[in-house]
Amino acid sequence: MSVYPADLPSLTRLRFFAALWVVFYHWRVPWTVDIDSATAFFAMGRFGVDLFFILSGFVLAHVYVAAREQGKFDFAKFIIARFARIYPLHLATIVLLALAAFGAWIVGVPFEREEFPIADLPANLLMVHAWGFAPNPGWNAPSWSISAEWFAYLAFPAYLMIAIALARRPLALVTIAIVAFLVLDLVHRSLFGESLPMATERFGVLRIIPEFLLGIAIYRLGNRYPLGRITAGVVFGASLVIYLLAAHLAWDDRIIALLGAPIVLSLAELDRHAAGTSRQDPIRYLGEISYAIYMLHVPFFMIAFNLLQDVLGVIDETISTMSLLALLAAMLAASSLTYEWLEKPSRRTIRRWGNALLVARRGNSKMTR
């Protein structure tokens, strides 16, 4: 069985493009350019989330499957690490939006109170709001996917059991993931009249279940049947062209969501053949800060747009291309600062404290036996 190199930089870079796609999906509405009349690509930016879900399953399988097979997987340490990764920024965006709402009230800028439902706040703070507990998009709408990710993390041992049970039958694992996707699509359609890739704050947890599994499945597939360098390049090129065409023409939601899998797989295969030549570059760094980009882009734009329109009077309901690009540059800078000054320090602190507490509790447990 072939093993991927520890470092998969192409997947890190893909995270940036997925996040940027989501950014333009949300930011395109007040843009003076009617981009949707020329292409559906930007309107399909919501599928950046599906790429994230598949990527997440693939990368976590890459990091933890071997440890689970060797009996070394520590679920408690895993949860501490994943909590440290996502919660500080999730909490920070909630605080930011609360302060923005208060500031708007202070200066007399109109804002929609229903966008910040107090009743939904506990579910948001517990990261269970996309489990059916808070059907409103308030308190940073994109965070529904973080709630879905949290579910996948808690269910990760079950995912690992499936991955290990079908280690020698990765095609069966891929089939199970796709069938699960189609079944949950039928469930979501029957409940809400929409396809599964439309599941967000109401029951976004349903969306990640099969897509996370699909990421694990293609990881197993690549381990079992590695591609040659040329073949991997051809598969990536063909997958990317088909994917872009599908988004441009707005193909069926389910097809677009599933088409992300061969892109992730082929990029990982290309990294297999580039092992030992990895280097840092601007796109890779942007991939590393993609979580901050994703979490900040809605509150940043909301605050900046309202400031420019309602306080400074610089714009009026729409925004030019140059202004949009300027805001994008500012948001990327803010995301970098957030990554360096909030994400990384808080991640280290939570992991250190959490692991120390875990060691202490396990030590006390041994002493009381």
Return per-residue pLDDT of the chain as tens, 369 residues.
568 999 999 999 999 999 999 999 999 999 999 999 999 999 999 999 999 999 999 999 999 999 999 999 999 999 999 999 999 999 999 999 888 877 777 766 666 666 778 889 999 999 999 999 988 777 888 999 999 999 999 999 999 999 999 999 999 999 999 999 999 999 999 999 999 999 999 899 999 999 999 999 999 999 999 999 999 999 999 999 999 999 999 999 999 999 999 999 999 999 999 866 667 899 999 999 999 999 999 999 988 988 888 777 788 889 999 999 999 999 999 999 999 999 999 999 999 999 999 988 887 766 565
- Counting Cα atoms < 13 Å in the Cβ hemisphere of 154 gives 11
| DSSP for 89-120, written as a single string | HHHHHHHHHHHHHHHHHHHT----GGGS-GGG
- Say which residues have a Cβ less than 8 Å from residue 172's Cβ, sequence separation at least 6: 166
Structure confidence by residue, pLDDT tens digits, 232-259: 999 999 999 999 999 999 999 999 999 9
Amino acid symbol at 203: F
CB of 52 within 8 A of CB of 197? no
On whether the pTM is more than 0.85, the answer is yes
Output the CA–CA distances (angstroms, integers) from residue 104 to 69, 71, 109, 110, in the order listed. Answer: 53, 53, 5, 7
CB of 195 within 8 A of CB of 188? yes
> Residue 276's pLDDT is what?
67
In angstroms, rounded to a whole number, what is the distance separating the alpha carbons of residues 84 and 79? Answer: 8
> Residue 316's pLDDT is what?
80
> Residue 274's pLDDT is what?
87
> Residue 347's pLDDT is what?
97
> Residue 195's pLDDT is what?
97
> Residue 313's pLDDT is what?
76
In angstroms, rounded to a whole number, what is the distance separating the alpha carbons of residues 142 and 205? Answer: 13
Helix, strand, coil in percent for the chain, rounding step 5: 75, 0, 20
Amino acid symbol at 89: L
CB of 12 within 8 A of CB of 225? no
> Residue 368's pLDDT is what?
61
Best CA proximity match to 145, nearest among 297, 259, 301: 297
> Residue 365's pLDDT is what?
66
End-to-end CA gap in the chain: 42
CB of 227 within 8 A of CB of 269? yes
Q: Where are the domains of the chain?
A: 9-362
> Residue 307's pLDDT is what?
84
Structure confidence by residue, pLDDT tens digits, 218-230: 999 999 999 999 9
State the Cα torsion 361-126-46-297 to the nearest 10°. Answer: -90
> 111: burial class by Cβ within 10 Å (0-12, 13-18, 19+)?
middle
> Residue 132's pLDDT is what?
92
